[in-house]
């Protein structure tokens, strides 16, 4: 089995800290849901809940008055509403990438972070879905989003990317939710078995769907998991590609460019990882999970951010180059205006946060520094929000006719709506942390030495002790520095 | 895991020599490939002298089709080092052989670089990057191809048949000419703005830079890997892993701009931000398909022993499948966004490849979807197929063949009137480039071990399972 041992010279190492065993994993993760919530949790929860209140009031007023209360104007018909929508959908992508794509690529280090990221996906998509629902300002015709004929018998335009959005994001939400719930089954069973109260036992019992951990259960479970991973993988690409079509199918300079689909996907994964990182660093510290979520995991996440950040940088560069190369004065103007016009501040915020900042992660030292990665992850989140804002606002605010040029300034209601979605997101997230196992217990156990059928705790090399095929250590390969 | 492996303690290393027998047919295959290449070169040389314009396009097609494949192999090797992959060690050397063939491309590029005047009419604009406008006469001669564009280009949406009819059919002849000239002048002006990038000096400088990088990285990675066969030093792996990140970035940039320079600039007024990604996707999916085929052939020959197992084919099949979807995604997105927005200056690319000239290109366009994507997609979907070799080979072979067809489809609609007119020179050039490239690859195969026997992760790859 020696060849499955990590090779430290190549930067490989075990995925869980020394001395971590089944019991430690179960205890560490389950006790968060069993003990009384710490005071910090309550403080955060109440803040988040207040923001939900702010959101509810803002939306109520929005429905009463109409979207005139936002900063949207002519020619900026879209403003923060769609910016927030795209941003939140993007945040969700990391979850699917980690749970599905990394699963398919056998990246077993994902087990430490996948549950967390998947939950984030679902909550982020919920926040995102609010915006298409409200951005038309007429909640009583929200059903226009669906492929249903209206009272005049007119169907929505099937050629409209906005309709495809509903299909794409709706499918994404459904599959992500199923994936998350299926993954949770064995862990809910663990919580059920540890429950002391009757109600708790019943609730987790229902959620665990009668899981007994039998061989047959595991077999079905793993097959279902693989199938859902396979279904989710194309969704990682399709959702944000369809979102990018909202812009790219138009003939608006700055929006209409062929690289948009993969560029949006890369950006989505980028921002999603940043958000996972921000939340994970907090949770890891608060709930003392350093032995499960190790520096190795964080470092790998930083590498993914470096890769995706560079891909986004490539897309910015290609857009700029092609705008010049196209020879079209409108294309050129939009990009020069982005970099030097009234929104230059937003553009350069975007460039510094998204392209320059992640380059810090070339350094191994900075990549392994918690304060640095925390700050960078937040900056990336800001940068990715600005990316969407820059795309939307700069392309719209100076249209073909200079006499109709304008400028978008957010109102207090724009800000409150955006903050309000944070409230929704964090409320859901804090509830999740409190009531569901935030790390995939069963999956982390799968990468422990004990999970090996030939695991020998006493180190004796008997008949079974040195059998090969042992995956006693799941390896984490690591690229060069 | 097989019983044999368990009994032998799981180590094949040091006991087996994965080498081509010097007396076998494979050992002299490089001579055959080289011979075919030279034979093709004779034909191509004839074309170079007698039908230079046609030769230029045929050669570009052959060159680009093989180059994208070779660069795909470079990408494979880079990504294995970048991720520190263990499963792929036993197939990595095969990819390295194909990567090592990149060194011959500077030589193969010579006929291409001598033919640029036939391919890129903007080449004749010397000194224009300093902003001085060339004399009108010269403009005219150099930009004649634009007239051709103007004839082929205006898209004719079925809803508005009147516009092109008036332009080319109806109306007075004088009016049509006037219109054409106006369009011509406008195009010339746009092109003039691009001469800062599209000019002879910069074009050649870039070409030299691309080749310098590709040769350097492929020689370095190949040397690090083959050296390790004897020394078994970990350092070589460490060095390769250190090189990988920066090299991957340079790879992406060189591939993008090479694709822009050598194929997108054939139609200098057309542009697409996706083009570099498209060239990448096409090269990588074809590479995975070819790598699968080569690995299958070697396993069948028995030279690989048990080093390549069903597990490896399963993974290669998955990657081929995955990148096939990626290729389809990129290709479709590019097409879709252009088609949907329906802007004349962007439509020209697909217009050339769809309704004009009796629809021969349309058939190929459709084949790219149905034959390159749908059929292999259905074939490769199943797990059993990926692990059992006959259907896997068929799926992979379709992709490789369609890659060549696709590159033909990329280059040839720009030649002359854009009609679909295959020529014997296409084949001669393909044999030249493919034969000489393969000669280098096969020569290296006979000189080195077929798997990286000194790689620290080799045993892991030998025993790897798709768990």
Please give, one letter per residue, the 3-state secondary structure of B121-168: HHHHCCCHHHCCCCCHHHHHHHCHHHHHHHHHCCCCCCCCCHHHHHHH
Among candidates A221, A212, A211, which has minimal Cα distance to A178?
A: A221
Using CA coordinates, name the residue in chain B closest to A238.
B329
DSSP for B375-441, written as a single string:
HHHHHHTSHHHHHSHHHHHHHHHHHHHHHHHHHHHHHGGGSTT------HHHHHHHHHHHHHHHHHH
Among candidates B252, B325, B343 on the partner chain, residue whose Cβ is nearest the Cβ of A314:
B252
pLDDT in tens, chain A (481 residues): 566 777 877 778 777 777 788 888 888 888 888 888 888 899 999 999 999 999 999 999 999 998 899 999 989 988 999 999 999 999 988 888 888 888 888 888 888 888 888 999 999 999 998 998 888 778 887 787 788 887 888 888 888 888 888 889 999 999 999 999 999 999 999 999 999 889 999 999 999 999 999 999 999 999 999 899 888 888 888 999 999 999 999 888 899 999 999 999 999 999 999 999 999 998 888 888 888 888 888 999 999 999 999 999 999 999 999 999 998 889 999 999 999 999 999 999 999 999 999 999 999 999 999 999 999 999 999 999 999 999 999 999 998 888 989 999 999 999 999 999 999 999 999 999 999 998 888 888 888 877 777 776 665 544 443 334 334 444 444 433 3
Q: Which residues, at least 6 apart from A78, have a Cβ–Cβ distance to it below 8 Å?
A: A72, A135, A392, A396
Q: What is the 3-state composition of chain A as percent helix, strand, coil, each rounded to the nearest 5? A: 70, 0, 30
Burial A127-166 (b: 16+ CB within 10 A, else e): bbbbbbebbebeeeeeebbeeeeeeeeeebeeeebbbbbb
Q: Between the CA of residue A247 and those of A86, A166, B390, what are the distances in Å?
A: 11, 15, 44
For residue B338, which residues of chain A lie inside 8 Å, CB to CB?
Answer: 258
A196 contacts: CB under 8 Å, gap ≥ 6: none
Instruction: List the domain boundaries for chain A.
Output: 19-150+160-451
Selecting from B244, B256, B341 the residue whose C-beta is nearest the C-beta of A480 gives B244
Q: What is the DSSP letter of A352?
A: I
Is A162 an interface residue toward B (CB < 8 Å)?
A: no
* Cα A397 to Cα A38, A258, A340, B152, B451, distances in angstroms: 48, 22, 14, 36, 59
**Alpha carbon distances (Å) from A304 to A274, B44, B249, B288:** 10, 46, 14, 23
Block residue for tokens 């279904």: A231
Q: How far is B228 from chain A (nearest CA, A)?
A: 15
Q: How far apart are CA A294 and CA A284, in angstroms?
A: 9
Tell if the CB–CB gap between B271 and A480 is shorter than 8 Å: no
User: CB count, 10 Å around CB of B14?
Assistant: 8
A422: its two tokens: 């944070």
On whether any CB of chain B is under 8 Å from the CB of A241, the answer is: yes
The answer to whether the CB of B340 falls within 8 A of the CB of A242 is no
The nearest CA of chain A is from the CA of B344 a distance in Å of 11
Neighbours of A2 (CB within 10 A): 12
For tokens 């009016």, name the residue. Answer: B175
Q: Rounded to the nearest 5 degrees, what angle is found at the Cα of B261, between the Cα atoms of B258 and B263?
A: 95
Closest CA to B464 of A367, A236, A475, A273: A475
10-residue mean pLDDT series, chain B (467 residues):
38 64 86 94 93 94 96 96 89 95 95 91 62 42 46 43 41 70 79 88 95 97 93 91 94 96 92 95 96 92 84 92 95 94 90 81 93 94 86 94 96 88 93 96 92 88 79
């Amino acid at each position: 089995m020696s060849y499955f041992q990590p090779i430290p010279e190549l930067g490989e190492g075990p995925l869980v800290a020394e001395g971590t065993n089944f019991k430690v994993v179960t205890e560490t993760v389950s006790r968060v849901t069993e003990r009384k919530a710490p005071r910090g949790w309550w403080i955060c929860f109440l803040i988040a809940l207040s923001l939900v209140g702010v959101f509810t009031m803002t939306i109520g007023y929005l429905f009463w008055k109409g979207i005139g209360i936002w900063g949207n104007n002519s020619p900026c018909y879209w403003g923060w509403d769609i910016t927030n929508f795209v941003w939140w959908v993007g945040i969700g992508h990391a979850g699917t990438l980690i749970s599905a794509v990394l699963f398919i690529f056998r990246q077993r280090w994902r087990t430490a972070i996948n549950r967390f990221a998947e939950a984030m996906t679902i909550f982020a998509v919920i926040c995102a879905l609010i915006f298409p629902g409200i951005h038309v300002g007429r909640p009583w015709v929200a059903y226009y989003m669906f492929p249903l004929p209206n009272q005049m018998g007119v169907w929505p335009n099937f050629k409209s990317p906005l309709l495809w959005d509903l299909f794409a994001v709706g499918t994404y939400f459904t599959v992500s939710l199923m994936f998350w719930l299926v993954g949770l089954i064995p862990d809910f069973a663990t919580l059920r078995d540890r429950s002391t109260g009757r109600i708790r036992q019943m609730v987790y019992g229902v959620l665990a769907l009668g899981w007994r951990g039998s061989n047959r259960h595991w077999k079905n479970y793993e097959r279902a998991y693989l199938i859902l991973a396979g279904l989710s993988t194309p969704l990682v690409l399709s959702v944000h590609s369809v979102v990018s079509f909202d812009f790219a199918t138009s003939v608006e300079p700055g929006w209409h460019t062929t690289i948009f689909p993969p560029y949006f996907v890369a950006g989505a994964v980028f921002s999603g990882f940043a958000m996972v990182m921000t939340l994970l660093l907090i949770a890891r510290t608060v709930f003392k999970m350093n032995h499960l979520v190790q520096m190795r995991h964080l470092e790998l996440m930083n590498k993914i951010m470096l890769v995706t950040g560079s891909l986004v940088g490539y897309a910015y560069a290609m857009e700029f180059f092609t705008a010049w190369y196209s020879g079209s004065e409108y294309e050129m103007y939009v990009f020069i205006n982005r970099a030097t016009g009234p929104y230059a501040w937003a553009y350069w915020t975007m460039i510094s946060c998204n392209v320059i900042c992640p380059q810090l992660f070339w350094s191994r030292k900075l990549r392994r520094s918690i304060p640095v990665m925390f700050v960078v992850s937040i900056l990336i989140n800001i940068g990715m929000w600005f990316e969407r804002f820059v795309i939307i606002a700069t392309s719209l605010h100076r249209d073909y006719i200079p006499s109709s040029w304008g400028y978008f300034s957010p109102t207090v209601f724009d800000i409150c709506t955006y903050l309000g979605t944070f409230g929704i997101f964090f409320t859901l997230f804090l509830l999740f942390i409190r009531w569901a196992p935030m790390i995939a217990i069963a999956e982390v156990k799968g990468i422990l030495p004990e999970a090996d059928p030939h695991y020998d705790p006493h180190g004796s090399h008997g008949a079974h002790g040195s059998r090969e095929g042992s995956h006693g250590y799941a390896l984490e390969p690591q690229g060069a520095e | 895991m097989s019983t044999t492996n368990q009994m032998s303690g799981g180590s094949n290393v040091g006991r087996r020599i994965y080498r081509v027998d010097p007396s076998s047919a494979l050992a002299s295959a490089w001579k055959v490939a080289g011979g075919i290449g030279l034979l093709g070169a004779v034909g191509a040389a004839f074309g170079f002298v007698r039908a230079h314009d046609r030769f230029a396009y045929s050669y570009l097609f052959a060159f680009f089709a093989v180059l994208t494949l070779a660069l795909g192999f470079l990408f494979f090797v880079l990504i294995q080092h970048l991720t520190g992959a263990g499963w792929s060690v036993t197939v990595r050397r095969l990819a390295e052989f194909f990567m090592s063939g990149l060194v011959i491309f500077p030589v193969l590029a010579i006929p291409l670089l001598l033919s640029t005047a036939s391919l890129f009419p903007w080449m004749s604009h010397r000194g224009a990057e300093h902003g001085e406008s060339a004399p009108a006469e010269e403009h005219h001669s150099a930009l004649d191809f634009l007239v051709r564009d103007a004839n082929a280009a205006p898209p004719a949406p079925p809803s508005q048949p009147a516009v092109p009819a008036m332009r080319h059919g109806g109306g007075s002849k004088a009016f049509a000419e006037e219109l054409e000239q106006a369009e011509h002048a406008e195009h010339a002006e746009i092109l003039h703005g691009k001469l800062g990038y599209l000019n002879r000096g910069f074009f050649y400088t870039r070409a030299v830079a691309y080749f310098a990088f590709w040769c350097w990285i492929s020689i370095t990675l190949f040397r690090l890997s083959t050296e390790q066969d004897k020394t078994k030093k970990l350092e070589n792996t460490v060095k390769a892993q250190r090189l990988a990140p920066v090299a991957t970035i340079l790879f992406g940039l060189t591939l993008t701009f090479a694709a822009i320079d050598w194929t997108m600039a054939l139609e200098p007024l057309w542009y697409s931000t996706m083009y570099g990604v498209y060239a990448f996707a096409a090269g990588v999916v074809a590479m995975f398909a070819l790598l699968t085929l080569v690995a299958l052939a070697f396993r069948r020959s028995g030279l690989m022993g048990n080093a390549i197992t069903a597990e490896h084919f399963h993974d290669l099949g998955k990657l081929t499948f995955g990148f096939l979807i990626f290729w389809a995604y990129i290709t479709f997105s590019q097409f879709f966004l252009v088609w949907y927005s329906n802007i004349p200056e962007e439509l020209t690319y697909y217009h050339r490849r769809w309704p004009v000239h009796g629809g021969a290109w349309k058939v190929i366009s459709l084949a790219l979807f149905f034959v390159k994507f749908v059929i292999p997609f259905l074939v490769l979907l199943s797990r059993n197929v990926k692990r059992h070799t006959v259907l896997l080979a068929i799926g992979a072979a379709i992709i490789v063949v369609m890659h060549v067809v696709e590159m033909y489809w990329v280059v040839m609609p720009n030649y002359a009137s854009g009609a679909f007119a295959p020529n014997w020179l296409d084949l001669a050039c393909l044999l030249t480039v493919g034969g000489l490239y393969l000669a280098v690859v096969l020569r290296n195969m006979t000189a080195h071990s077929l798997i990286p026997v000194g790689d620290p992760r080799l045993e892991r790859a030998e025993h790897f399972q798709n768990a």
